[in-house]
């Protein structure tokens, strides 16, 4: 694997067109690492991974560091937003403003220090075309010269989505009743929030679950919160949360701001908060959230503190997703 920025970076297995087998292989690898974290403890010996953050993080930063350490790599974190020079990403920019260094100059230097680079960038939520062009991560990949892992970009969060499928599979192994026939009913439901958030987690979860193809996938959101069709195509979409929750095996709760009239929150209808009462409609559903979560805004305390909540397990699994991805890159011919 040369880069990990989207499910589209996975390769279909020979003789297949879909990505289901490739996703399941990464999931199996991750669960092997969970069972035996140090089984490849020398795989990355002598190699260095750089984790660059243009935005805050708790889980992504620490889980990726732990994963790299389990593989014997040296991990160095650089909070570019706080400690680095202000970067320019536009080609041909006249740099007479606040930006000090062009990515064209900074990225190759970083590539000379590290064997793998990881980067987190958020969207501005001001200009949809700019955000969805993924200028930051695209320019970084273009100029750094080493494999790149997305730690969340303007529109996607692939390490989170891989983790989410790992967690779902793990739960299905533990509780077969969560899988009716071949598939679980997985519901992604919009939740209220106090400020406009990126669409990354919802886009990415939709993209991965659709590519995986092993779920009865439903997305519930208020009117005008449609996500980009490129990611949701294949899912059932409804504005009726109760209808969506009926018989759900997994409920993934997440806020996102509007995509069409970009980056807005029109309503913060508290009725969309997931409560114990709503959970009763489901098939004793396991409740997921990528964290950080606004308690009693997105999800009630009762739900988050109940046995249905698997958010801590989900966040813990971030390590194994990162380890499976880093390992796959280390084993590929794309590493120098
Ligand atoms: N879920 C997630 O990406 O968490 P952090 O923002 O804390 O990394």
Alpha-carbon distance values, 268 to 194, 222, 239 (Å): 7, 10, 14
The answer to whether the beta carbons of residues 48 and 74 sit under 8 Å apart is: yes
> Tokens 């899988």 belong to which residue?
179
C-beta atoms surrounding 225 within 10 Å? 23
* Terminal-residue alpha carbon distance, the chain: 13
Pocket test for ligand 1, best of 152, 312, 314 (most atoms within 8 A of CB): 152
The answer to whether the beta carbons of residues 330 and 75 sit under 8 Å apart is: no
Decide: 160 in ligand 1 pocket, CB within 6 A.
yes
Reply yes or no: is the peptide bond before residue 313 cis, omega within 30 of 0. no
Q: What are phi and psi of 330, to 5 degrees?
A: -60, -35
Pocket test for ligand 1, best of 55, 57, 161 (most atoms within 8 A of CB): 57
- 122: nearest Cα among 192, 209, 223, 53: 53
Query: What's the sign of the alpha-carbon dihedral 299, 304, 308, 309?
Result: positive
The atom of ligand 1 lying closest to the CA of 152 is 3
pLDDT in tens, 173-186: 999 999 888 899 99
Q: What are phi and psi of 9, to 5 degrees?
A: -80, -10
Q: What is the pTM of this model?
A: 0.97
- Give the H/E segment covering residue 254: strand 250-254
pLDDT in tens, 144-203: 999 999 999 999 999 999 999 999 999 999 999 998 888 999 999 999 999 999 999 999
User: Cα(56) to centroid of ligand 1, in Å?
Assistant: 8
Fold classification of 160-315 (topology level): Rossmann fold (3.40.50)
- 193: nearest Cα among 261, 109, 263: 263
Decide: 317 in ligand 1 pocket, CB within 6 A.
no
Q: What is the CATH number of domain 7-156+317-330?
A: 3.40.50.1370
Q: Write down the domain spans for the chain.
A: 7-156+317-330, 160-315
Residue-by-residue pLDDT tens, the chain, 336 positions: 889 999 999 999 998 889 999 999 999 999 999 999 999 999 999 999 999 999 999 999 999 999 999 999 999 999 999 999 999 999 999 999 999 999 999 999 999 999 999 999 999 999 999 999 999 999 999 999 999 999 999 999 999 999 999 999 999 999 999 988 889 999 999 999 999 999 999 999 999 999 999 999 999 999 999 999 999 999 999 999 999 999 999 999 999 999 999 999 997 789 999 999 999 999 999 999 999 999 999 999 999 999 999 999 999 999 999 999 999 999 997 778
- Give the H/E segment covering residue 128: helix 128-132
Alpha-carbon distance values, 163 to 26, 126, 157, 167, 196 (Å): 10, 29, 10, 6, 24
The answer to whether the beta carbons of residues 209 and 241 sit under 8 Å apart is: no
Decide: 58 in ligand 1 pocket, CB within 6 A.
yes
The atom of ligand 1 lying closest to the CA of 56 is 6
What are the structure tokens assigned to 91, written together?
């080609």
Question: Does this chain's domain 7-156+317-330 share its CATH topology with 160-315?
Answer: yes
User: Cα(315) to centroid of ligand 1, in Å?
Assistant: 8
C-beta atoms surrounding 167 within 10 Å? 26
Please name the residue ranges forming H helices in 188-282.
200-212, 229-232, 241-245, 276-279
The pLDDT value given to residue 300: 96
In terms of C-beta density within 10 A (0-12 exposed, 13-18 middle, 19 or more buried), how is residue 315 classed? buried
The pLDDT value given to residue 84: 94
């Amino acid at each position: 694997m040369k880069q990990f920025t989207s499910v589209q970076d996975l390769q279909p297995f020979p003789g297949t067109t879909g990505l289901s087998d490739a996703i399941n292989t990464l999931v199996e690898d991750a669960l092997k690492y969970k069972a035996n974290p140090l089984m490849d403890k020398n795989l990355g010996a002598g190699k260095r991974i750089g984790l660059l953050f243009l935005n805050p993080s708790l889980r992504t930063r620490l889980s990726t560091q732990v994963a790299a350490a389990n593989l014997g790599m040296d991990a160095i974190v650089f909070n570019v937003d706080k400690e680095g020079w202000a970067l320019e990403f536009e080609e041909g920019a006249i740099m007479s403003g606040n930006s000090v260094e062009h990515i064209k100059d900074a990225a190759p230097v970083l590539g000379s220090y590290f064997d793998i680079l990881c980067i987190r960038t958020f969207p501005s939520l001001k200009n949809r075309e700019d955000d969805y062009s993924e200028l930051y991560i695209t320019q970084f990949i273009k100029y750094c010269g080493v494999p790149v892992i997305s730690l969340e970009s303007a529109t996607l969060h692939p390490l989170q989505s891989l983790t989410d499928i790992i967690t779902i599979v793990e739960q299905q192994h533990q509780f077969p009743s969560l899988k009716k026939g071949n598939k679980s009913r997985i519901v992604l439901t919009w939740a209220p929030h106090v400020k406009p958030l990126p669409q990354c987690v919802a886009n990415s979860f939709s993209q991965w679950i659709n590519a995986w193809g092993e779920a009865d996938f439903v997305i519930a959101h208020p009117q005008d919160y449609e996500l980009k069709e490129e990611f949701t195509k294949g899912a059932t979409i409804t504005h009726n949360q109760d209808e969506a929750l009926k018989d759900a095996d997994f409920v993934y709760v997440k806020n996102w701001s509007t995509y069409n009239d970009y980056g807005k929150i029109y309503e913060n209808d508290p009725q969309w908060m997931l409560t114990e009462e709503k959970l009763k409609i489901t098939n004793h559903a396991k409740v997921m959230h990528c964290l950080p979560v606004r308690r009693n805004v997105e999800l009630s305390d009762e739900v988050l503190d109940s046995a249905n909540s698997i958010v801590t397990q989900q966040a813990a699994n971030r390590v194994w997703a990162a380890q499976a991805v880093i390992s796959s890159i280390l084993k590929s011919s794309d590493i120098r």
